[in-house]
Structure 1
Amino acid sequence: MKTYTFLLAIFLLSANVHAQVNTWNGKKCTVVLTYDDAISQHLDNAVPVLDSLGLKATFYVTAYSAAVRDRLNDWKKLASNGHELGNHTLFHPCIGNTPGREWVRPENDLSQYSVARMVNEVRMTNTFLQALDGKTQRTFAFTCGDMKIGDSAFITPLKNDFVAARAVRHELHKINEIDLYNVDCYMVNGESAEQIIAWVKKAMDTQSLLVLLFHGVGGGNSLDVSIPAHRKVLQFLKQNEKDIWVAPMLEVAEHVKTWQSQGSKK
């Protein structure tokens, strides 16, 4: 009886490990690389390294960004090379009536928006992005992590417009724990390559989803990562691709949606 119990325990443990590994296309974890606000340094400093390593990322585009207006063809080329253009609103509104948000311009103060205005601007951005990449499936990223106008979660009337929406919190989640309209991420703000790689290793250890949020890459935003640190992180991901699935947010979100709808039978 003891031998049977022991063998059963080994079988169940093995089955559990197998299921966890197969959760992420046979890899230990998933990493999504996201870049916010449509900054020229993304095109100049991030994309060449991504392309040289064959890694695909998600770029959350604020349509009114100067780098978008001035470099439309570069953003089109980025999409044609397999990167995702995500929706990061038309004007990047944020709640301005809180401490530390003095930089928010009155016309872009989300606290002064109506839900209808936000919905209209977000949908207009989807139309703009479709003109760039021809796609109708898309993901969204909350600006400044702000998710409500007053007491209303403005993503609610937009759920049919997006497969997923990314928030801003330092948390990891296993596939069954992920809320696709509140996907957590780790925001990079001056961390070293070693610190960021430690986040990746934690995701590997816990079979979790890690979404990395970059703003500036070697400049362009006060929330910055150095070019050498950025390159070293991407090289680590490439060197460990047998254990790490790196894909754009849309692809990962569709995988999570399918897995959650089917459960572990997938």
Structure 2
Amino acid sequence: MTTPRLLLGLCLCLAAAAVVADDHAPAPYPWPGGARAAVSLAYDDALPTHLDTAIPALDRHGLHGSFYLVMSADTVRTRLADWRAAARRGHELGNHTLFHACSAQGADRSWVSPAQDLDTMTVAHVQAEVLLANTMLHAIDGSTEFTFTVPCGDRNAGDGDYVSGLAPHMLGIKLGAGAVVPDMRTLDRHAVPVAVPQGSTGAELIALVEAAGRQGTMVNFTFHGIGGDHLAVSREAHEALLAFLAAHRDRYWTATFREQMRWVRDVERAAAP
């Protein structure tokens, strides 16, 4: 039979053990305003639905996204004023190369043209194109710090890895699969994992945000079409995600990827010996 004294002793032992455990647990990652996690809303390929659907929806909810422009895209040529206006309202215009070169290898890559086959290009050539895209972004909106999403997640040109050499020129690089960052303190800002939703429901997108909140890290969405174009999610799913984030601003820091990587960089510098 457990006596009150013994029960009290057990409770004190458990409390002491919890204190010891807490002493060894890492401190929560210091997101702005005490937020639980960060959320990056990114949109690749400079698609018409970004200007016509995504940006108006973000503006209605007071949220900012990162739009990765392929500089040869029709919307960059024909709707440059709209992209500049989006940048003035706080959205990021990011680097997605000049021509979106990808490897032609694989059953799903028949759309890659010979002129944009990464397998036939040199590292020097691809890096020169990416840096020229930075110059063009500066000309569009005056940016001096840049982030990059690697087209198709393909980092190897014909003669080697072209992405690693871009690190000095980028605050952050989105590369690789995986929605929720497992540990912010070991995150490589130049190899940030992303989720690429296609046909996802609003509930599925929100579940990823909540998973990031439980881990205290971040989730990186890379959308393509919104209610149209390719690799699309529905307007309804996108709207449900934005409404959730707008309603929980205190929990989830939704900002441009550039702002978030600037914050992560500064935390890294403060923690350096």
For 2:36 and 2:100, the matched residues in 1 are separated by: 35
* Deviation of the 1:16 alpha carbon: 4.6
Larger radius of gyration: 2
3-state DSSP of counterpart to 2:200: coil
For 1:8 and 1:93, the matched residues in 2 are separated by: 55
Please give the per-residue CA displacement for 1:117-138, whole angstroms capped at 9, x wherever unaligned. Answer: 1011111111111111101100
* Deviation of the 1:248 alpha carbon: 0.6
The aligned amino acid for 2:155 is: M
For 1:144 and 1:209, the matched residues in 2 are separated by: 21
For 2:142 and 2:95, the matched residues in 1 are separated by: 14
Please give the per-residue CA displacement for 1:51-95, whole angstroms capped at 9, x wherever unaligned. Answer: 111101100110000011110000001111111111000000000
Q: TM-score, normalised by structure 1?
A: 0.92
3-state DSSP of counterpart to 2:28: helix
For 1:218 and 1:127, the matched residues in 2 are separated by: 31
Q: TM-score, normalised by structure 2?
A: 0.90
CA RMSD of aligned residues (A): 2.2
Aligned to 1:199: 208
Aligned to 2:4: none
For 1:197 and 1:23, the matched residues in 2 are separated by: 19
Asked if 1:10 is matched to 2:19, the reply is yes
Alignment of 1:39-188 (within 5 A): 39-150=47-158, 152-173=160-181, 174-188=183-197
Aligned to 2:268: 260
For 1:9 and 1:97, the matched residues in 2 are separated by: 53
8 Å CA contact 1:28, 1:243 repeated in 2: yes
Please give the per-residue CA displacement for 1:101-153, whole angstroms capped at 9, x wherever unaligned. Answer: 11101101010111111011111111111111101100000000101114622
* Deviation of the 1:99 alpha carbon: 2.3
Please give the per-residue CA displacement for 1:167-191, whole angstroms capped at 9, x wherever unaligned. Answer: 1402422211211111001111001
8 Å CA contact 1:168, 1:187 repeated in 2: no
Identity %, equivalent residues: 33
8 Å CA contact 2:126, 2:162 repeated in 1: yes
Moved more, 65-74 or 145-154: 145-154
Aligned to 1:22: 30
State how many pairs are aligned: 263
* Deviation of the 1:256 alpha carbon: 1.2
Structure 1's unaligned 5+ residue stretches are none
For 2:237 and 2:191, the matched residues in 1 are separated by: 28
Moved more, 20-29 or 121-130: 20-29
8 Å CA contact 2:118, 2:158 repeated in 1: no
For 2:166 and 2:219, the matched residues in 1 are separated by: 24
Asked if 1:250 is matched to 2:268, the reply is no
* Deviation of the 1:15 alpha carbon: 8.8
The aligned amino acid for 2:213 is: M
* Deviation of the 1:156 alpha carbon: 2.4
3-state DSSP of counterpart to 1:20: coil
Aligned to 1:190: 199
For 2:14 and 2:203, the matched residues in 1 are separated by: 43
For 1:138 and 1:86, the matched residues in 2 are separated by: 6
For 1:150 and 1:14, the matched residues in 2 are separated by: 50
Aligned to 1:219: 228
The aligned amino acid for 1:252 is: Q
3-state DSSP of counterpart to 2:34: coil
Structure 2's unaligned 5+ residue stretches are 1-8
